[in-house]
Amino acid sequence: MTARSAAGEAAQRGGAGARAVARKLAAIVGPRNVVVDPAELLVYECDGLTHGRVRPDLVVLPGSTEEVAAVVRVARDASVPLVPRGAGTGLSGGARPVPGCAVLSLSRMRRILELDLENGWARVEPGVINLDVTRAVAGAGFYYAPDPSSQSVCSIGGNVAENSGGAHCLKYGFTTNHVLAARVVLSDGAVVDLGGPAPDAPGYDLLAALVGSEGMLGVVTEVTVRLLRKPETTRTFFATFPSTDEAGAAVSGIIAAGILPAAIEMMDRLAIVAAKAATGLDWPDVGAALLMDADGPRAEVEHVSARAIEIARAAGALEIRVPRDEAERQLMWKGRKSAFAAVGRISPSYLVEDGVIPRSEIARVLRDIGRLAEEAGLRVANVFHAGDGNLHPLVLYDARVPGEEERAARLGGEILRLCIRYGGSITGEHGVGAEKAAYMAEQFGPDDLDTMQRVRCAFDGAALMNPGKVFPTPRLCGEKPGPYRPHPAEVAGLAERW
Amino acid sequence: MTAPVAAALADLARAFPAERLTRDPERLEAYGRDESDLGAYPPDVAVLVESAEEIREVFRIASAHRVPVVPVAARSGKSGGVLAVQRGIAVSLERMNRILEISPEDLVARVEPGVVTGQLQAAVEEHGLFYPPDPNSLELCTIGGNVAENAGGPRALKYGVTREYVLGLTAVVPTGEILKVGHRSIKGVAGYDLTGLLVGSEGTLAIVTEVMVKLLPRPRHVSTALVVFDSVASAARAVSRVLAGGVIPRCLELLDDVSLAAAGKTSPFRFPAGAGAALLVETDGNDEESVFAEIVRVAEIVQGDAAGEVIVAQNEAQRREVWETRRYLSVNLKTLHPMKLSEDVAVPRSKIPAMVERAKAIGARHGLVVATYGHAGDGNLHCNVLFDRAEERPRVDLAVGEILRAAVDLGGTITGEHGVGLAKRDFLEYEQGRELVALQRRLKAVFDPLGILNPGKMFPG
């Protein structure tokens, strides 16, 4: 995007772009914490989704709730769009800048403010790295449950924005199940505390609306997360299968037997090959593998693991491996967690998809994906959270071959449509961001999208918080055929189109 | 009857068959009451709806004539959420009471809002499955009401409240949109979490017509224990010790001395004279030995703080007896004093003794007895103000107000699971402050710009 059209869009919004308020922002956060140098802005042009880069006007790095509130007020008064950013590891372009915007980076706010082990929570700033929460309390036997694969680099604030998951969601839930309270700066600069110590705070569950809202409803400046006691013991096994059909049947059988594994991950042939290439693990060449964790009290875990292994065998497992010690267990998990990056070893480029299907449909959907891949003339590696039906198809392609990138993107889209057809979702944990906005209208009806837009109006009437994300079209009521009919909330002056 | 109501009635009569419209004053009187003891607020008419489209039709008529709409189901709520304070149209969901689907493979059930919670639990148990939320009224209350209030129960300690089990909803908003939000899979983060926002919105944003709930495999074994203490403080200490010991019981129920005195009237257990508190503890799991081992471990942990023996139920009959001690508490309290107002607060676990003490002291100052019991594991306490005559009500209301403020001052909240409704709307701002209440009013306004859905609830008048 050129500077001229950026300024044009900003002007259309009634503002002159973030440059115009650079001095005011510097007065709030200090000149060192406002980045305007084009070379330094380069890293802020995208997040983990690296195509479709946009250069922001500037980056502002506040150090406290008060500074965030002051920055938000300045931006609002000048109609400057704000794009909040945590560690920049998101995979859906949620932190991609928009022309004329100020990126509001929370990376300076990385203090753990308070630990209350008796009541089981930690209060942290949004820039704190996910794994650092667990590191801070592990000595006392506690941990923070949500564990996205990027947990050693992603931030709690980003996790809240995307409602991040991880490998242990089946038993432990997602970020939304582990956030007890949040301090939030609203679009008008007001500071509110959402949630609280009770399981159900009175009034509307604004915290539920906020978690997963991808930085569009407010800026989180403090988060209180639930801490869990480390389970007494964890048992892991790795099982190989001739194909994903048998592996899928094993997953269904295990759940149907009343077992709730802490994690149950599936890899297909291509993913196994990649993981082996990257880690040197001595995994066999097979059609599919499962990696399962059971955790809890020792006797219970022994009982459950033994039963799950029996079921895997009955479903057609070729081989079961139980790690001899913690080091070997960690190695098995390393194989799983490195699978994404490992795909880079067998393909020059790849695209990470993230879709959800009901667990009972895994085998069928994987076959459908195989068929779609064949039609597109591309390879797809599957490594995913089988217990909760969260697929991560990795579409392999070669960007140097003309047209292949577009074909890969199209295949990714077809896979998402498949997820919708099977009653699932276009994203299980990466968010919609900039990447999947176009698919929202396929998963949701216009009534659903309108209502989401109106919720946004209630939080951010001027639509300055992370604009252009999540929603498919820049108008209140989505794309409806026929003449536009104003919504009663618009007539009453409570919401407006944009 | 006002002219708008008359016009709405005429429209309803055209849109619905006569047998689905109730105008009988006696029946309307019943629609105007719940378990809040706030009196009767009958609607002008009750419509027995059967589908989302019919609810949309009611909203259309109500919008045209600016007549209020109130959703009602089992009317077992304790905060007055269904009372028709401005009269109008009650939308009764009692006919929408089908369990549409139970899927053991996907661990979900799809139900209509009028399904009784206990009936859903029984139905899924036949498949070896488990729907954990267990409000005390589970034999009466409905899933729709549970969703509206985000109901909890003793098992919330281990399993969480209703919100954790609602995967998706179909709901009708006052402006006529029919929302289908959430998903059948347990994961899915596309768009704002409207499902989460609607759960606990107390029937003020939309009327829910279908609920997709998450199920768990049913734990095969449960162990139950009852422990007596000489004071609430030592019981609370024991609660902290249990939770710090790494055991997560599925419930940890606290009874104070007044509750124990009442429970003793029918309980098969003899509580020692001067017993100051008791805890009811339950563990569950799939391996019988390890579940029993856990309850024994709990017994060992609490032994030091307990007064006397720890009673571990040895069989299902004894287990039931222990639970009857807790379940009939509310009834037994009425044998001490015929009337009571049950308050529902939550405080940080470490503040439980202080909350019980303050509630007692507030009662004493007003010449009233307060019995406190509740879900100690998550700090959710029910403070019951006992009294004898209706004329005492103003005094009782003063005491209740002070109890609510005390909970907020201790870092807690005015409602742990019953909701704000009509009963506590004047206290919301005390807890949350003006800006947060203003934001919620803005949300209410975008869902319901005409203010026709369940007016007079949740927000200060």
Q: Nearest by CB to A447, which of B177, B199, B442?
A: B177
**How far is the C-alpha of B105 from the C-alpha of B87, rounded, in Å?**
45
Among the candidates B197, B217, B237, a domain finishes at B217
Judgement on whether residues B209 and B258 belong to the same structural domain of the protein? no
Assess if residue B441 is contained within a domain: no
Domain of residue B229, CATH code: 3.30.70.2190
Residues of B in contact with A463 (CB under 8 A): none
Domain tally, chain B: 4
Cα distance between residue B388 and residue B301, in whole Å: 40
Mean per-residue pLDDT over chain B, rounded:
93
> What confidence score (pLDDT) does residue A489 get?
64
Report CA-CA distances (Å) from B320 to A168, A429, B116, B316, B326: 35, 42, 21, 6, 10
Residue B7 within any structural domain of the chain: yes
In this complex, which of A204, A232, A449 lies closest to B246 when CB atoms are compared?
Answer: A232
Is the ipTM beyond the 0.85 threshold? yes
Q: How far apart are CA B379 and CA A466, in angstroms?
A: 38
State pLDDT tens for residues B153-171. 999 999 999 999 999 999 9
Separation in Å, CA of B334 to nearest CA in chain A:
28
Q: Residues B213, B225: one domain?
A: no
Considering the domain boundaries, does residue B395 fall inside one?
yes
List Cβ neighbours of A86 (8 Å cut-off, separation of 6 or more): A95, A106, A107, A126, A127, A154, A155, A156, A157, A158, A159, A161
Give the model's pLDDT for residue B186.
83
Task: Judge contact between B224 and B325, C-beta under 8 A.
Answer: no
pLDDT at res. B360 = 96
Name the A residues in 229-268 with CB < 8 Å from any B CB: 229-230, 232, 252, 255-260
- B86 shares a domain with B120: no
pLDDT score of B105: 87
Given this model, what pLDDT does residue A307 score?
Answer: 96
Q: Has residue B302 been placed in a domain?
A: yes
- Domain assignment present for residue B436? The answer is no
* Residue at B136 is within a domain: yes
How close A229 gets to chain B, by Cα (Å)?
A: 6
Candidate from B175, B184, B199 with C-beta closest to A205: B199
Please check whether residue A94 touches B, CB under 8 A: no
Q: Decide if B220 contacts B290 (C-beta within 8 A).
A: no
Domain boundary among B328, B350, B379: B328
Bridge-based pairing state of the strands A191-195 and A179-185? antiparallel
Residues of A in contact with B199 (CB under 8 A): 205, 208
Report the relative pairing of strands A379-385 and A263-268 from DSSP bridges: antiparallel
Average pLDDT of span B224-243:
92
Q: Verify that B145 and B228 share a domain, yes or no.
A: no
Q: Which residues pair with B453 in a beta bridge?
A: B69
Expressed as residue numbers, the domain containing B315 is: 221-328
Residues B205 and B230 in one domain: no
A232 contacts on B by Cβ (under 8 Å)? 246
Q: Answer yes or no: do B266 and B316 share one domain.
A: yes
- What one-character-per-residue DSSP string does A186-246 give? -TTS-EEEEE-SSSS-SS--HHHHHTTSTTSS-EEEEEEEE-EEPPSEEEEEEEEESSHHH
**Residue B419 lies inside a defined structural domain of this protein:** yes
pLDDT of the residue at A6: 41
Domains of chain A: 3-105 (3.30.43.10), 112-229 (3.30.465.10), 233-421 (3.40.462.10), 445-491 (no CATH)
Q: Are B115 and B203 members of one domain?
A: yes
Sequential pLDDT tens for chain A (498 residues): 333 344 444 444 555 789 999 999 999 999 999 999 999 999 999 999 988 899 999 999 999 999 999 999 999 999 999 999 999 999 999 999 999 999 999 999 999 999 998 888 999 999 999 999 999 999 999 999 999 988 999 999 999 999 999 889 989 999 999 999 999 999 999 999 999 766 678 999 999 999 999 999 999 999 999 999 999 899 999 999 999 999 999 999 999 888 999 999 999 999 999 999 888 889 999 999 999 999 988 888 999 999 999 999 999 999 999 999 999 999 999 888 888 888 888 999 999 999 999 988 999 999 999 999 999 999 999 999 999 899 999 999 999 999 999 999 999 999 999 999 998 999 999 999 999 999 999 999 999 999 999 999 999 999 999 999 999 865 443 334 334 556 666 666 666 544
Confidence of residue B246 (pLDDT cuts 50, 70, 90): confident
Chain CA centroid to CA B229, Å: 28
- Please compute the mean of the pLDDT values over residues B335-357 and round it to a whole number: 91
Domain-located, residue B295: yes
pLDDT of residue A494: 61
Most B CBs within 10 A among A204, A359, A465, A473, hence the mutation to make, goes to A204
- Within this chain, do residues B78 and B121 fall inside the same structural domain, yes or no? no
B242 and B301 fall within a common domain: yes
- B191/B400 Cα distance (integer angstroms): 40
**What is the bridge-based pairing of β-strands A288-296 and A233-241?**
antiparallel
Q: By the CB < 8 Å criterion, does A441 face chain B?
A: no
| Alpha-carbon dihedral B46, B52, B56, B61, rounded to 10 degrees | -20
Q: Are residues B318 and B344 in the same domain?
A: no
**A116: enclosing H helix or E strand:** strand A112-116
With CA atoms as reference, the chain B residue closest to A416 would be B190
Nearest to B188 among A186, A256, A428 (CB): A428
Give CA–CA dist A451/B197, Å, rounded: 11
Last residue of a domain, one of B59, B92, B125: B92
Is the same domain home to B279 and B359? no
Q: What is the pLDDT of residues A68-86, one digit of tens each?
A: 999 999 999 999 999 999 9
Does B197 lie in the same domain as B109? yes
